[in-house]
Structure 1
Amino acid sequence: MSQALIDALQAPTCYSHTTTGFTVRETHISWVILTGDYAYKIKKPVNLGFLDYSTLAQRRHFCEVEVSRNQHFNNHTYLEVVPISGSPEAPLVDDDSAPFEYAVKMRQFDDRNLLCQLQQRGELTTTHIEALVRQLAHAHQHAEKAPAESDAGSLEAIKAPVQNNFTQIAPLLEEEQDKQQLKLLETWAHDTADSLAERLNQRRVQGMICACHGDLHLSNAAATADQVMLFDCIEFNPSLYWIDPISDLAFLLMDLESRELHTLANVALNLYLELTGDYNGLALLPYYKSYRAMVRAKVSLLRLQEEGNLLDAEDRASILRQYRTYSALAEHYIDFHMPYLLVTHGVSGSGKSTLTRYVVEALGAIRIRSDVERKRLYGFAPNDASQSPLDSGIYTQEATAQTYDRLASLGTDCLKCAVPVIFDATGLKRSQRDQLRAVGEGLGVPVVIINMAASEATLRRRIVKRQTQGDQVAEADLTILERQLAAREPLEEDELQSTVHVDTDAPGASQTLVQLLKDHLHLEER
């Protein structure tokens, strides 16, 4: 395809709609022509091995796949595949009389709303990330499953792209220290994949492998008036998108962490797990995050080949610094960090969910909420109203016992993945606290009880406020609060030895709690 077509498409007469100006964006595999209300993406006639756009039939096919796949994640932006007829010098868009090219037609949006641009301006918020994760979780839960006869999700299919990174990076490294680090990462990746083989195969058998985004980072997400939209998912290579959803999530987490956005990464991980219940995938995160970091490291380093002699010494040094940033992050993911367990104690309205959320953001623990897991046991989503009266439905003594069993089981699995855990539960009975504390004690990790207290007036005010604001995660009302106050079993002497106390009426209670935990557990600053 000649440059003449791209030049000619920058004319209003090519389109049946009004245009307000033209801008061309070019990558190594496509052109995107911005016209005002609409953008048109045209694939370059290239064959790079991992993608083949060399024929018109191939380009049309992958345009159709791109629209179909992206509409699963974003049904507003991707509109249709349009033919281009006429000639390269005088093209007509959306004319099917004699197509010589095809384009993906999209609604145009402002690049300034890309999440990466918001982040650079210091405008990226928790609200943006939560909106993105909610859409991602929904897309994963409703995604097409990989065909049973395919090798998607097999150990070989998972290891192949990981190994390709190391194979392609190795010839580009000159410093011995870089080479040694690469060998360390390669050996770890190989050994870790083998150690995870049983879990990986189990997830494949369970149907976890599905059509994921495949390229999920902040440059492929943008804020709109009322949501965050995902776009530009991989369409050209099925092996890169028929993957475990945890691999998709890992790319987002790695991208946030590479930008030092650890709080947002903690929020993203916890919300995703809360929405999907996929705590089983937590064990895979270090492997997939390290892999995704090395993808970015490789992409950085490949510029040395692509731009060759055009790079001066300063450019080459900048590329190597970027490579080393990602490779250092990949190495960080393989380090072991001693986990710990936090067990909350406090009646409804005492501030457990608010304070534990702050702990999650600050320290990176995995929060497991009794309200959420109780509902999940009975087929409810976190924000569903169960309509269960007191002592019936999901609030019987049996349901409560099952809920604590589930908390203990999930907590055990998470701690075995070497991540800190915080149980967000009332823990009003000694037996309940003992059950949760035993999870950590059985694994030999530090256990701390967080005793949260507030005046009864505050407790009642918070519950009323929560109900009027429509918070349906926690369903306790004033009747339940009165019962809790009457029936709670106070902490005993042996429990108090490993307890931190927080007055949640006090200003700065969240910050106070985090500092108490750091002091008690001797946690280092990030």
Structure 2
Amino acid sequence: MAVRMAPLRPQPDCAMPMPPPQTARNSAPDALVEGLRRLLQASTGRAVQRLETHISWVLLDGEHAWKIKKPVRLGFLDFTSLQTRHQACDDELRLNRRLAAGIYLDVLPIRGSAAMPVLDGAGEPIEYVLRMKQFAPGALLSEKLAAGILVPTAIDRLAARLAAFHRDAPAAGNAAPYGNAPQVLAQTAQVLDGLESSPGAGRLPDLRAWCEAEGRRLAPCFAARRRQGWVREGHGDLHLANVVALGEDVTAFDCIEFDPGLRWIDVQSDIAFLTMDLAAHGRRDLALRFLDRWLEGCGDHAGIAVLRYYEVYRALVRALVSGLRQAQGTTIPGPDYVAAARRLAAARDARLLITHGLSGSGKSYVSARLLEAAGAIRLRSDVERKRLFGRQALDATPAAMVREVYAPAATRRTYARLRAWAAAALDAGYPAIVDAAFLRAHERDAFRQLARDKGAPFAILDCRAEPAALRARVLARSLRRDDASEADLAVLERQSADFEALRPEECGACITVDTAQPLDIGAIAKRWLDMR
């Protein structure tokens, strides 16, 4: 399907402060772009729109977008040679086809002359053009959010796509100069320097002090994550205007191709751009929904330790870009990203909630909605149990492995992992929800003690339903096979026969929910967040 390409950003959103561009003298680039526009109009019979960014021209002919690199030298790139521009086109094609192969088609040589270019024929190329499919107006997630039509299922699809992308992306070797603590801190300092020197900008001593203190505290973590292989070749520019919905497909495009150092980054830095941008636009619920689905697919729960730092960094980057656009007279309405950075830096509310209930009682359904309302990180036993055995959430456990996967030893390992990841979330200052049955008192006690150790409020979400409803839900879920849980009616019967009810001393921290009744998630979230 032919779709329309939205205007590319006036400059890369990850860019540092830039000197005025210097243009090569070996061609007449503007004449070439106009010549190509006339050629496309003649061949298609349609008007061709011309767009311009700092580093590219884009021609939209109603079916394709044609992107030509400008022969410019900026602070972060040098496109003054034809060979370099050709390589940049090839890199952009190759890198973006990882996520958006249906949009990025090919790189074509332009021959002829600037006044009369041709896209076929003989002769030496005078320029190269990247050809893409256009997409329809309103297809960007930024546009859908502004129009109030961004649906949660689009967030789910994007999270699944990016989780698989990050899971499979190549990791930077220890010898690569990417993702180490000095580089991370230097990039943040450079953005702050640029932001404070922007016209009309003031000093940001609070944010600078926070970034420096957090950077020092997290330096060992940055180093450890690099050693563990979490610095990978990502996208580099995952804000809402670089994500597009094409029918049922939701994916990112326009990644960073010109600077490997802005693309080879911690996967948490990559997704932090998106979670920050959603939160800055007033949709923290969707930010947490995305994060929950991405973590379920990617499994990087330990990375929560650095997520907030990267979200603040990304907010400062967007603030810098907004300031540069304003100075150039190309202001695009948007949120106050400096204010967003301050909110993110201050948003610490470590508290722990565990679920309790039989299979089919609605624990996962309620916790999925609660995490959005409360801004929480969720951990699911059904997902983490499978991950221990190298399987994804919706993978069916092979019959030969069922005994091992659901043995008491595997259950103990699962709860130990849940406890470790919950501790990481609390240390990072997030509310944490652990979605598991917690049918044994000793399992609940271990997490109550964790909350005590962390100085965090503790709560139990006790989900209940009538036995007939439990059986109907478990059977329906088994037939759908759309959830990580593999509990069947036999499992439900065993649970019903020998679970350990909440003790009187636990009831004071209990929030009881009858999931057969209409749910007031806001009230449940308020009750939990009010607990001290």
Please give the TM-score of this superposition, normalised by the length of structure 2: 0.90
Q: Which moved more, 1:121-130 or 1:430-439?
A: 430-439
Instruction: Specify the alignment match of 1:78 in structure 2.
Output: 104
367, 370, 392: which one aligns with 1:359: 370
SS of equivalent residue, structure 2 residue 346:
coil
Q: Does the Cα contact within 8 Å between 2:457 and 2:531 map onto a contact in 1?
A: no
Question: Structure 2 vs 1, CA of residues 95 and 136 (structure 1 numbering), >3 Å: closer, same or farther?
Answer: farther
- Aligned residue among 502, 509, 518 for 2:526: 518
Matched, 1:427 2:438: yes
Counterpart among 509, 515, 519 of residue 498 in structure 1: 509
More deviation, 86-95/350-359: 86-95
Say if 2:41 and 2:48, in contact at 8 Å, map to a contact too.
no
Question: Residues 196-226 of structure 1, C-alpha deviation per residue, up to 9 Å, x if partnerless?
Answer: 1111111111222111111111111111122
Note if contact 2:39-2:117 (Cα within 8 Å) is conserved in structure 1: no
Residues 288 and 483 of structure 1, relative CA distance in 2, 3 Å threshold: same
Secondary structure at the counterpart of residue 196 of structure 1: helix
1:36 CA drift (Å) = 2.7
- 1:19, 1:35 within 8 Å by CA — same for their partners in 2? no
**Counterpart pick for 2:181 among 140, 150, 155:** 155
Identity of aligned residues (%): 38
Are 1:195 and 2:217 an aligned pair? Answer: yes
2:230 corresponds to 1:208: yes
CA contact (8 A) 2:441 2:502 kept: yes
Contact conserved, 1:390 with 1:480, CA < 8 A, in 2?
no
Note closer, same or farther for the CA distance 1:13–1:259 as it changes in structure 2 (3 Å cut). closer
Q: What are the equivalent positions in structure 2 for 1:240-259 lying under 5 Å apart?
A: 240-259=262-281
Alpha-carbon separation, structure 1, partners of 2:402 and 2:223: 41
- For residue 494 of structure 2, what is the aligned residue in structure 1? 483
Give the 3-state SS of the residue equivalent to 1:172 in structure 2: coil
Give the equivalent residue in structure 2 for 1:60.
86
Q: How many residues align?
A: 505
State the shift of 1:463 in Å.
1.0
Q: Following TM superposition, by how much is the alpha carbon of 1:386 offset from its aligned partner in structure 2, in angstroms?
A: 0.6
Is it true that 1:285 corresponds to 2:271 in the alignment?
A: no
CA 1:153–1:442 in 2, change beyond 3 Å: closer, same or farther? same
Q: Tell me the equivalent position of 2:3.
A: none
Task: Report Cα offsets for 1:416-459 as digits up to 9, x if no partner.
Answer: 11101111111111111112222212212111111111001100
Counterpart of 2:359? 348
Bigger mean CA deviation after superposition, 32-41 or 297-306 = 297-306
Opposite residue 7 of structure 1, the aligned amino acid is E
Q: Which moved more, 1:93-102 or 1:470-479?
A: 93-102
Displacement of 1:306: 2.9
Residue-by-residue CA offset, 1:384-424 (whole Å, 9 max, x unaligned): 00134897121111111111111111111111111011111
RMSD: 2.1
Take 1:141 and 1:169, find their aligned partners in 2: how far apart are those partners? 33
Q: Which moved more, 1:236-245 or 1:387-396?
A: 387-396
**1:263 aligned to which of 278, 285, 288:** 285
Amino acid at match of 2:325: R
1 CA distance for matches of 2:404 and 2:62? 55
Displacement after TM superposition at 1:145 (Å):
2.3
Map 1:80-159; keep pairs closer than 5 Å.
80-95=106-121, 97-159=123-185
Q: Which runs of 5+ in 1 are unaligned?
A: none
Query: Structure 2 counterpart of 1:415, which letter?
Result: L
Tell me the TM-score normalized by structure 1. Answer: 0.91
Distance (Å, rounded) in 2 between the aligned partners of 1:263 and 1:255: 12
Q: 2:448 aligns with which of 433, 437, 457?
A: 437
Whether 2:74 is the aligned partner of 1:48: answer yes
1:462 corresponds, among 452, 473, 492, to 473
Secondary structure of 2:72's counterpart equals coil
| Residues 92-118 of structure 1: per-residue CA shift (max 9 Å, x gap) | 125563211001111221132111111
Specify which of 229, 236, 239 is matched with residue 261 of structure 2.
239
Q: Is the 8 A contact 1:83 1:95 kept in 2?
A: no
For 1:24 and 1:297, the matched residues in 2 are separated by: 27
Counterpart of 2:9 in structure 1 is: none
Q: How many angstroms apart in 1 are the aligned matches of 2:483 and 2:530? A: 36
Change in 2 beyond 3 A, CA 1:83/1:59: same
The structure 2 residue matched to 1:169, chosen from 178, 181, 195, is 195
Aligned to 1:2: 29
Q: Distance in 2 between matches of 1:516 and 1:110?
A: 40
Distance 1:391 1:100 in 2: 63
Separation in structure 2 between the aligned mates of residue 94 and residue 424 of structure 1, nearest angstrom: 60
